[in-house]
Structure 1
Amino acid sequence: MTSLLKKSPAVSYCIITFLLSGLLLLLHFVFPAAGGYSVSFPQYAPTLGALVFCLLTGNPAAFTDILKRLRPQRAHLKWYACAVLLPVSLIALSALPLPMLELRYQPWGGDARFYILNIIFMLFGCFGEEIGWRGFLLPALQKRFSPFAGSLIIGTVWGVWHINFSYGILGFLLFTITTIELSAIMAWIYNQTSGSVLAMGIFHLLLNICSRLWLWGRFGVTLYAVQAAVFGIACVIILVISRKDFFRRPYLTEREESHAL
């Protein structure tokens, strides 16, 4: 079993994560009110999947290394700023044309307790995803593929994992396109920070918070189409700027190269 897992780590990890996601989803039937505070139990499956994979393959040190990449590094301060400004800008730009498309602003909120609890649970949930998606799966993919190809794969997996059929097949396809685009943007920051999981968690958290604040009540096919266009433009700019590295196959960060020696 160990040799099978090691032979196809990315595929094995995805299978483990999807199985764990299904099990964790059952908790929402036990705690139905949790969703009202941005609690999503399956968000912890990507991290648990990475932990289970590392334990099954007899390499718990690999999971410890992922956790070490949560530490802030002074050399990456400008990229942490990028991880803050980019998601805020992307969501703001996505919100701008919505009133012209007859999607009026709807406030998301309640009292101070509501905001505090939601942000806390979003914080844990976003990092619960990123320790797995970008901490484990992305570097595993980049050992075989370019960042561009890796982004296509992880973005597709990420989109399918959300099982977002609330707005039909078209809504699901558009949503998955946005997760692919976001994966490319995040891979760019990830590689510029030598694999910072902290930067990935910050990006994801700000994306979710801004989506709640500025897009609440307007999710659907129209919004996903707008986001696909906005995120797509950002992707094209990044691909042009970093085309040499983004299409290099395989791609290892400085940290991964040192471990490979």
Structure 2
Amino acid sequence: MNLFRRFVRSHELLIALSLVLVVNAVFVGCIHSGILPHKLYYYGRFLLLGSTLGTVVLIGSGFSGVFALLRPMLKWRISPWWYLLAFTWAASMCTLTLMGKVAFTQASLSILRPDLSVILMPAVAVTIFVGSFVGEIVWVSYAIRKLSARFTPFIGSQIVGVVWTLWWMPMVLLNVGVFPDLPPLALLVSMLGIAAMCSFVYHHTRSGIAVLILQMMVNSSSVIFPVIPHTGGIGTFVAYGIVYYTAVVLLYLRFGPKPILPSKASEPEIMAAGQAQ
């Protein structure tokens, strides 16, 4: 047992990320084939995501490791400007994308008007909260934090963005519980930008609450504004992902954390930052 635990501890991140992909793919496949009822999907995917990570961390690091997953949620004393950024970032990116659409395609200005009807449905609001809460713990407070100890925060976020996209792929390919017609490559660009922004906010604040708000607003804005394929068209979704990703890269270039790309000279600094976390 001790040998198994040491093995899990030594390869905890790789095991955790691999398992969340496998478990989710099996779960979505069972939903799609009718083995499991579809009603389990809405919260089940997030509960599986969180419980899979929690189980791996419990085996590898014990209860202290599990409690450490929730510690960033206790940090709320940060500058109000970070909360303002978290609340407005995604909506700003949607608005900027749609303004470009109006300018270049002569689309109606009405597309800039937010539609709150769906987001105000209790079931939708709860799903967004649960998904954002579990996502913050798994992808940001755990995975990005761990990877940032070996790579730069930006590169760590890009690795997570790829894995995060792979986590979505069974739902996209089987069209289970997701917006229809999501192009995989455009989804990847979008998730890379989202992961990078989460890493940016987390690195500067170490606050899980700030990232939670950021994630809730990202998930809400895609419903409020017509930027996804079935409301705004595939072209709009592609443009949104590019605008979001470009804006995040500009934030890194201006405010850090730097270096964005790893170098031999920066490795000691990265390792020291990771140990400090």
Q: TM-score, normalised by structure 2?
A: 0.77
Q: CA deviation at 1:138?
A: 0.9
Which residue of 4, 9, 14 maps to 1:6? 9
Evaluate the alpha carbon distance shift between residue 66 and residue 252 of structure 1 in structure 2; reply closer, same or farther with a 3 A threshold.
Answer: farther
Alpha-carbon displacement from aligned partner over 1:112-148 (angstroms, at most 9, x marks no partner):
9x62221122111211222111121111111211112
Question: What residue identity is the alignment partner of 2:235?
Answer: T
Q: CA deviation at 1:224?
A: 2.8
Query: In structure 1, how many angstroms separate the alpha carbons of the residues matched to 2:260 and 2:149?
Result: 13
Gaps of 5+ in 2: 174-179
Partner of 2:146: 140
Query: Do the aligned partners of 1:51 and 1:60 also contact (CA within 8 Å) in 2?
Result: no
Query: Once superposed, what is the RMSD of the aligned Cα atoms?
Result: 3.0
Evaluate the alpha carbon distance shift between residue 252 and residue 185 of structure 1 in structure 2; reply closer, same or farther with a 3 A threshold.
Answer: farther
Which residue of 184, 193, 215 maps to 1:172? 184
Partner of 2:177: none
Query: In structure 2, how many angstroms separate the alpha carbons of the residues matched to 1:88 and 1:199?
Result: 16
Partner of 1:32: 38
Q: CA deviation at 1:108?
A: 6.9
> Is structure 2 residue 238 aligned with structure 1 residue 225?
yes
Query: In structure 2, how many angstroms separate the alpha carbons of the residues matched to 1:158 and 1:96?
Result: 28
> Is structure 2 residue 76 aligned with structure 1 residue 62?
no
Query: In structure 2, how many angstroms separate the alpha carbons of the residues matched to 1:253 and 1:65?
Result: 19
Give the stretch that moved more between structures: 159-168 or 223-232: 159-168
Query: Do the aligned partners of 1:126 and 1:201 also contact (CA within 8 Å) in 2?
Result: yes
Question: What residue identity is the alignment partner of 1:48?
Answer: S
Give the stretch that moved more between structures: 222-231 or 242-251: 242-251
Evaluate the alpha carbon distance shift between residue 218 and residue 239 of structure 1 in structure 2; reply closer, same or farther with a 3 A threshold.
Answer: same
Which residue of 109, 113, 116 maps to 2:117? 109
Partner of 1:49: 52
Partner of 2:20: 17
Question: What residue identity is the alignment partner of 2:208?
Answer: V
Query: Do the aligned partners of 2:192 and 2:245 also contact (CA within 8 Å) in 1?
Result: no
Which residue of 110, 123, 138 maps to 2:129? 123
Query: In structure 1, how many angstroms separate the alpha carbons of the residues matched to 2:272 and 2:214?
Result: 19
> Is structure 2 residue 196 aligned with structure 1 residue 184?
yes
Which residue of 216, 220, 239 maps to 2:252? 239
Q: CA deviation at 1:205?
A: 0.7
Partner of 1:193: 205
Aligned pair count?
A: 250
Question: What residue identity is the alignment partner of 1:236?
Answer: V
Alpha-carbon displacement from aligned partner over 1:34-79 (angstroms, at most 9, x marks no partner):
77xxx35313333222201111214221121221211242234322
Q: TM-score, normalised by structure 1?
A: 0.81
Question: What residue identity is the alignment partner of 1:244?
Answer: K
Which residue of 73, 94, 107 maps to 2:97? 94
Evaluate the alpha carbon distance shift between residue 15 and residue 93 of structure 1 in structure 2; reply closer, same or farther with a 3 A threshold.
Answer: same
